[in-house]
Amino acid sequence: MIKRIQHWLHHSLVSRLTLLVLLATLCAWIAFSAVLLHEARKETAEVLDRQLTAYADLLWQNLGDEDDLKPSLYKQRKQHVVLGFSLLNRDGSVIISSLATPFPAQAAASRHPYLIQHEGHAWQITVRQDAERQLIIGEPVRNQLKIAHELSEGLGQTALWALLLLLPLLFLAIRQGLKPLKSVAAELAQREPNNLNPLDVAVPCEITPLRDRLNTLFGQVSETLARERRFTADAAHELRTPLAALRVQIELAQSSPRVEIREKALGKALAGVDRTTRLVTQLLALSRLEHGERPQSEVISLPDLAKAALIEADLPADAAHLIVQQALPLRGQPILLGLLLRNVLDNARHYAGDAAIIQIQIDGTRLRISDNGVGVSEADLLRLGERFYRPPGQAQPGVGLGLSIVRRIADLHGAQLQLSNLPEGGFCVEVIFNPDITS
């Protein structure tokens, strides 16, 4: 039973809020009832004390013969005792009393009632006296408690009925107050899985952060899906051509009876395999970069990375020059920066021409790679670095991913990438690292 209640409270916000508010109301009601009982007893005692004092004054002022008190004595004995009195001589003898056992004589008169024990019961009494007589009037304390209890009971029953009436009203009010959450839930339930438009539902200010965060999440998911669809479509388009060419060359090698044709076709097929392998490698690298992968950085040396990239590029000794003016250690990811250098060198070797000379200059946090080729047009210069973009009329193999990977790697390192044509002819790629990443 307890587990069922816990499950109900855990899965119902309305039930949880109703229970919490009900418990708070119940605690307030109990505290109110306790204070009410205390105040009722206090006020009742004060009122009855004032009445007792007024009755004593009235009776003392109009006190005549003791025979005038006999009807009162008879009346008090026939009913429950509300007030009792005893008229005594100064020597303590009883003149008349409404009680079977008269009050004992008191030491002095009193203006304010006080408490005594008489016949095993507590009494509030007040005393009036002169030189000959003493009048003692008292009231049982239980009468005060009974009146206070009846008053508190009446008020408590009223408060209890109000509490029972409050419960359904409270439940309905909380359900009404949580309707905006149901509106959001209904809007989400009716949505198609591919609907990532922002939620346009009016909600209270307490739920606005939730709606805004959902809208932000929808935007991020939409952007991710769009990037994935765009990348998949572009990659499929670019892979289709080299795979088709590779199949053609293999079929030609299989069907040709001439040895030289078969060797030439197989050579082209191997070149196609290398091109496809390079394309897949670039696609995987770009995919990791597109998803914001940030490998752990370490202290690197640009001259060492440049030397390794030149060796891997297998350029003739007179076709590439490395000039180091000032080398500062940087923090970065050596694999990604090596990929950056290889892509820039591959572009320079393929598009600047066989006779081109490539120069790498390192000056502090500036990496500059230039060639003496023909450069590119101003219109193409603005679009270089876009994925899968290649200037029209290119005869060299390529897919237009090299510079886009270079740009992404530079962004990951907080560096600036500048592409430009040299005044004397040729193309230049500059990567300017942030001085803050120096060790």
Tokens of 236: 């499929």
- Residues 6 or more apart whose CB falls under 8 angstroms from that of 58 comprise none
At residue 68, the pLDDT reads: 52
Q: Which amino acid is at 356?
A: A
Tokens of 251: 């079929």
Largest interatomic CA distance in the chain? 159
Measuring CA to CA, how many Å separate 209 from each of 174, 197, 200, 214, 382?
A: 20, 17, 13, 9, 40
Per-residue pLDDT, averaged over 384-397, amounts to 61
Confidence check: pLDDT of 229 > 50? yes
Place of tokens 């009146």: 147
Tokens of 69: 């008190």
Report d(CA 153, CA 33) in Å as an integer.
9
Q: How many CB atoms lie within 10 A of CB 77?
A: 12
Per-residue pLDDT, averaged over 356-383, amounts to 83
Report d(CA 282, CA 400) in Å as an integer.
10
At residue 139, the pLDDT reads: 86
At residue 50, the pLDDT reads: 86
In a domain, 123, yes or no: yes
Confidence check: pLDDT of 80 > 50? no
322 forms beta bridges with 360
Report d(CA 157, CA 36) in Å as an integer.
12
Last residue of a domain, one of 120, 148, 170: 170
Q: CATH number for the domain including 8?
A: 3.30.450
Confidence check: pLDDT of 73 > 50? no
Per-residue pLDDT, averaged over 355-373, amounts to 86
Number of domains into which the chain is organized: 2
Last residue of a domain, one of 153, 170, 187: 170
Report d(CA 364, CA 341) in Å as an integer.
17
Report d(CA 134, CA 60) in Å as an integer.
9
Per-residue pLDDT, averaged over 205-209, amounts to 75
Q: In this structure, are residues 340 and 405 in contact, taking their beta carbons and an 8 Å threshold? A: yes
In a domain, 285, yes or no: no
At residue 283, the pLDDT reads: 66
Report d(CA 49, CA 123) in Å as an integer.
11
Provide DSSP, 112-155: S-EEEEETTEEEEEEEEE-SSEEEEEEEEHHHHHHHHHHHHHHH
Tokens of 98: 């409404």
Q: In this structure, are residues 288 and 318 in contact, taking their beta carbons and an 8 Å threshold? A: no
Report d(CA 18, CA 11) in Å as an integer.
13
Backbone torsions φ then ψ of 330, nearest 5 degrees:
-120, 165
In a domain, 334, yes or no: yes
In a domain, 124, yes or no: yes
Greater pLDDT, 422 or 400: 422
Confidence check: pLDDT of 354 > 70? no
Last residue of a domain, one of 141, 170, 199: 170
Tokens of 296: 């752990």
Residue numbers of the domain that contains 15 = 2-170
259 band by pLDDT with thresholds 50, 70 and 90: confident
pLDDT, mean over the chain? 77
**Alpha helix stretches (DSSP H) within 190-207:** none
Tokens of 282: 């670039």
In a domain, 195, yes or no: no
pLDDT over 70, % of the chain: 81
Q: Which amino acid is at 269?
A: A
Burial of 136 (0-12, 13-18, 19+ CB in 10 A): buried
In a domain, 242, yes or no: no
Report d(CA 198, CA 214) in Å as an integer.
8
Confidence check: pLDDT of 11 > 70? no
My answer on whether 163 and 303 are in the same domain is no
Backbone torsions φ then ψ of 126, nearest 5 degrees:
-135, 145
In a domain, 208, yes or no: no
Q: 123-175: per-residue pLDDT in tens?
A: 888 999 888 888 888 888 888 778 777 777 777 788 778 878 877 887 787 77
127 forms beta bridges with 136
Report d(CA 99, CA 357) in Å as an integer.
133
Place of tokens 């899968």: 388
Tokens of 218: 């929808």
Q: How many residues does the chain have?
A: 439
Q: What is the pTM of this model?
A: 0.47
Place of tokens 């752990």: 296
Confidence check: pLDDT of 292 > 70? no
Q: 86-127: per-residue pLDDT in tens?
A: 888 888 888 888 888 888 988 888 888 888 898 888 888 899
Q: CATH number for the domain including 416?
A: 3.30.565.10
In a domain, 53, yes or no: yes
Provide DSSP, 257-285: --HHHHHHHHHHHHHHHHHHHHHHHHHHH
